[in-house]
């Protein structure tokens, strides 16, 4: 055995226990230990073998930290076939999350029992992979082809009851898992239960048409990704090939995925997301403040969505507005959002009601006196926000956290409006706030450590992915976006149509093209933000020229059914508008811009390298703690494709020397105002290194 796996013979049952915290990942020590224990169990007096795990979960998958390193024997597929070919019945006892390679171990066992609270799944696709230890061959044999396709291409776990209904789990148990599993093993031994080899089951066949339909659905749902299509190929092989050949097909395609840049990008995202929760200079045991009651100021779209997050997580919320009318509008937005959630199957009617009832309305600041946290979400005006914080300073209890949802304003100046700047922090939600995963947590100069630690933990509690940002105009996400958006709009003025720009970016993998995003967010939002800035800080006036004119024509985007595009009032489908094209050509002429053909590779490079270059400056200034944090911001907040790993990972994957060469080319062609290479980019290229290695040495 190894330190990660122990074996004992108890009442005729050979019990193999995996104990490899935190999630019992299948490291080399676990695979070796399982191999050794299986051998021992087959040589002693045991009549059945039980595989069970210590700690919080059954095996949660292959050890992702070993990927990319030379593989060491025993390999997982071989171990799975050793389990299946064992001379005695093997039973898996599942709790927690039996995922990926862990679930494949269970599928190789002859019987599976699970606690009702357990979840099972094959999430490899989320790492740009496919199940590589028989998952694509054994799942369709047990659950049928369609269920296997849904489970493996989505990567989403299912609960034990669903797994049992699909035939993936045989027996649900309650109470103490070990006791219940031992008792069931005893029953199986008593009735001389046979060894049931999953590989020997027949696979039901489905028609080619169904598979073709599945592939065409995936072409939309998983645009640009390779793993989901290889998964369908493997499941098809389970239908058309004998088990050993099917396994060979799976192996070949697994290796292709493992060696793909897409999987490297998605594995990077897995670790970046977990790392982004760590705050440099803050110990893990920093005390946290209790948050039971939350105040939200402003019942617009943002404030209402923000309030729902806290109510959904079981907290009491007071929503404050200046007038009864505005308050009632906000409460209606909330009611509508809950109805939407019921329709989408997010929660039941009763749950929605309970959550809604946790949100009380008020027009009195005194109602916030006992709130543990207040989030201000009024429109972007520094003076107004400072007035609100001065008022909160007078009203709120000692120790309350005072947060602003500002997208752009200086959190230090907002904090300075209070006598307790250490309690002030930025919590920047993304619209729609009750749905989007990203939360930028803005650490101001005087924000106390326990305030920051509390907000990071709270973010997790309300289901967000938090990323810490320092204070600067637009923080991490919107500061970078202003460069991306500038290039998108300059491409339009210089000769590309809005559709050409959006299509190029969507085909590259962005969830939505930039101009369609502007229309969705409301062109008036950017317009007002620009008007609020001194002229010399409004950026390249050529870039916003078309958007400003559209707003002045009353075309504010989707909400007015017209912006860069025209929108169908019912379906919100966008269509191009000749009127906008004529406007673009007029404005270009007025600006003296000679229009030309711009190909999609120039569009993509200008927009994405503008992000990478600004991201480098943000890292250099310490606004972001590490490059991976920026990637998390972009993937979770801006629709950047996870399979490209976020802008900073993408820059590294392309090669920083290539990025710098293109940035310098753009500087020559378009001027140094918009294209000054980041000093960190120049330094890393001069040093012959990349961002990943630099981050390992410089960012904790």
- Taking CB under 6 A as the binding criterion, the range among 60-68, 358-366, 447-455, 565-573 that sits at the site for ligand 3H9 is 60-68
Q: How far apart are CA 280 and CA 402, in angstroms?
A: 22
Q: Is 104 in the site for ligand 3H9 (CB under 6 A)?
A: yes
Q: Is 97 in the site for ligand 3H9 (CB under 6 A)?
A: yes
Q: Is 101 in the site for ligand 3H9 (CB under 6 A)?
A: yes
Q: How many CA atoms lie within 13 A of 441 on its CB side?
A: 27
Residues binding ligand 3H9: number (CB under 6 A): 24
Q: How far apart are CA 435 and CA 432, in angstroms?
A: 6
Q: Is 127 in the site for ligand 3H9 (CB under 6 A)?
A: yes
Return the SS3 of 179: helix
Q: What is the DSSP letter of 115?
A: E
Two structure tokens written together for 289: 């403040």
> Which of residues 93 and 580 has its CB atom nearest to ligand 3H9 in the complex?
93
- H or E stretch including 469? strand 465-469
> Which of residues 263 and 478 has its CB atom nearest to ligand 3H9 in the complex?
263
Near ligand 3H9 in 264-323, by CB under 6 A = 274
Closest distance of CB 629 from ligand 3H9, Å:
14
- Taking CB under 6 A as the binding criterion, the range among 58-66, 191-199, 534-542, 660-668 that sits at the site for ligand 3H9 is 58-66
Closest distance of CB 631 from ligand 3H9, Å:
16
> Which of residues 135 and 627 has its CB atom nearest to ligand 3H9 in the complex?
135
Find residue 266's DSSP bridge partners.
none
Closest distance of CB 124 from ligand 3H9, Å:
5
Closest distance of CB 467 from ligand 3H9, Å:
15
Closest distance of CB 462 from ligand 3H9, Å:
15
Candidates 5, 18, 23, 695; binder of ligand 3H9 (CB under 6 A) is: 23
Q: Is 70 in the site for ligand 3H9 (CB under 6 A)?
A: no
Q: Is 76 in the site for ligand 3H9 (CB under 6 A)?
A: yes
Report how far apart, in Å, the C-alpha atoms of 259 and of each of 218, 227, 271, 331, 640 are.
Answer: 22, 11, 18, 51, 22
> Which of residues 269 and 307 has its CB atom nearest to ligand 3H9 in the complex?
269
Candidates 4, 90, 110, 124; binder of ligand 3H9 (CB under 6 A) is: 124
Neighbours of 101 (CB within 10 A): 29
> Which of residues 233 and 354 has its CB atom nearest to ligand 3H9 in the complex?
233
> Which of residues 194 and 281 has its CB atom nearest to ligand 3H9 in the complex?
281
Q: How far apart are CA 638 and CA 618, in angstroms?
A: 17
Q: How far apart are CA 398 and CA 86, in angstroms?
A: 65
| b/e code 644-683 from CB counts within 10 Å (16+ = b) | bbbbbbbbbbbebeebbebbeebeeeeeeebbebbebbee
Two structure tokens written together for 679: 């000093």
* Cβ atoms 681, 664 nearer than 8 A: no
Asked if the bond preceding 263 is cis, omega within 30° of 0, the reply is no
* CA 109 to chain centroid: 32
Q: Is 64 in the site for ligand 3H9 (CB under 6 A)?
A: yes
- Taking CB under 6 A as the binding criterion, the range among 18-26, 368-376, 440-448, 616-624 that sits at the site for ligand 3H9 is 18-26
Two structure tokens written together for 684: 């890393």
* Cβ atoms 140, 170 nearer than 8 A: no
Name the residues annotated as catalytic: 104, 124
Q: Is 22 in the site for ligand 3H9 (CB under 6 A)?
A: yes
Q: Is 218 in the site for ligand 3H9 (CB under 6 A)?
A: no
Q: How many CA atoms lie within 13 A of 64 on its CB side?
A: 21
> Which of residues 15 and 23 has its CB atom nearest to ligand 3H9 in the complex?
23
Interface positions with ligand 3H9 (CB under 6 A): 22-23, 25, 60-65, 76, 97, 99-101, 104, 123-124, 127, 129, 131-133, 135, 274
């Amino acid at each position: 055995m190894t330190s990660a796996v122990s074996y004992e013979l108890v009442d005729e049952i050979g019990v193999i226990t995996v104990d490899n915290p935190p999630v019992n990942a299948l490291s080399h020590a676990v695979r070796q230990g399982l191999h050794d224990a299986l051998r021992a169990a087959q040589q002693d007096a045991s009549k059945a073998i039980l595989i069970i795990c210590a700690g919080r979960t059954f095996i949660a998958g292959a050890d992702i930290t070993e990927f990319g390193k030379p593989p060491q024997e025993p390999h997982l597929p071989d171990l799975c076939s050793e389990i299946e070919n064992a001379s005695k019945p093997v039973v898996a006892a599942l709790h927690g999350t039996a995922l990926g390679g862990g679930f494949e171990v269970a599928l190789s066992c002859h019987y599976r029992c699970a606690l009702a609270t357990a979840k099972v799944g094959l999430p490899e696709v989320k790492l740009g992979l496919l199940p590589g230890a028989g998952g694509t061959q054994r799942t369709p044999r047990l659950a049928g082809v369609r269920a296997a396709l849904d489970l493996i291409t989505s990567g989403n776990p299912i609960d034990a009851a669903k797994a049992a209904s699909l035939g993936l789990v045989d027996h649900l148990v309650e109470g103490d898992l070990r006791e219940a599993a031992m008792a069931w093993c005893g029953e199986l031994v008593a009735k001389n239960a046979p060894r049931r080899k999953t590989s020997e089951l027949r696979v039901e066949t489905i028609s080619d048409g169904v598979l073709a339909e599945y592939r065409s659905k995936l072409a939309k749902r998983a645009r640009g990704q390779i793993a989901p299509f290889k998964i369908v190929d493997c499941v098809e092989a389970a239908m058309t090939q004998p088990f050993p050949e099917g396994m060979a097909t799976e192996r070949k395609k697994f290796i292709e995925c493992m060696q793909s840049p897409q999987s490297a990008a998605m594995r990077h995202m897995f670790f970046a997301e977990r790392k982004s929760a760590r705050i440099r200079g803050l110990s893990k045991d920093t005390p946290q403040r209790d948050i039971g009651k939350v105040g939200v100021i402003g019942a617009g779209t943002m404030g209402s969505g923000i309030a729902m997050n806290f109510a959904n997580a079981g907290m009491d919320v007071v929503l404050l507005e200046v007038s009864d009318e505005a308050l009632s509008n906000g409460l209606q937005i909330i009611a509508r959002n809950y109805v939407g959630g019921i329709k989408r199957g997010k929660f039941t009617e009763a749950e929605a009601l309970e959550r809604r009832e946790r949100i009380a309305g008020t027009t009195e600041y005194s109602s916030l006196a006992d709130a543990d946290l207040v989030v201000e979400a009024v429109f972007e005006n520094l003076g107004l926000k400072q007035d609100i914080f001065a008022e909160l300073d007078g009203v709120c209890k000692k120790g309350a956290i005072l947060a602003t949802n500002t997208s752009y304003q200086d959190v230090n100046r907002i904090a300075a409006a209070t006598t307790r700047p250490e309690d002030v922090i930025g919590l920047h939600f993304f619209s729609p706030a009750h749905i989007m995963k990203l939360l930028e947590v803005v650490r101001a100069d005087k924000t106390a450590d326990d305030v920051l630690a509390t907000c990071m933990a709270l973010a997790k509690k309300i289901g967000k992915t938090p990323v810490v940002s320092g204070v600067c105009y637009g923080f991490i996400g919107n500061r970078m976006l202003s460069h991306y958006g500038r290039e998108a709009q300059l491409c339009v003025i210089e000769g590309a149509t809005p559709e050409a720009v959006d299509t190029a970016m969507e085909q590259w993998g962005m969830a939505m093209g930039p101009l369609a995003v502007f229309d969705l967010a409301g062109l008036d939002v950017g317009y007002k933000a620009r008007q609020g800035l001194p002229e010399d800080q409004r950026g390249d006036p050529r870039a916003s020229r078309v958007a400003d004119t559209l707003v002045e024509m009353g075309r504010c985007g989707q909400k007015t059914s017209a912006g860069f595009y025209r929108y169908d009032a019912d379906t919100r489908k966008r269509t191009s508008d000749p009127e906008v094209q004529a406007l673009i050509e007029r404005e270009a002429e007025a600006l003296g811009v000679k229009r030309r053909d711009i190909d999609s590779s120039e569009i993509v490079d200008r927009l994405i390298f503008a992000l990478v270059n600004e991201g480098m400056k943000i890292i250099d200034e310490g606004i972001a703690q590490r490059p991976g944090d920026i990637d998390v911001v972009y993937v979770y907040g801006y629709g950047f494709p996870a399979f490209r790993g976020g802008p900073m990972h993408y820059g590294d994957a392309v090669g920083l020397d290539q990025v710098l060469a293109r940035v310098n080319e753009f500087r020559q062609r378009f001027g140094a105002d918009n294209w000054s290479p980041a000093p960190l980019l120049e330094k890393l290229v001069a040093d012959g290194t990349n961002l990943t290695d630099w981050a390992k040495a410089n960012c904790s």
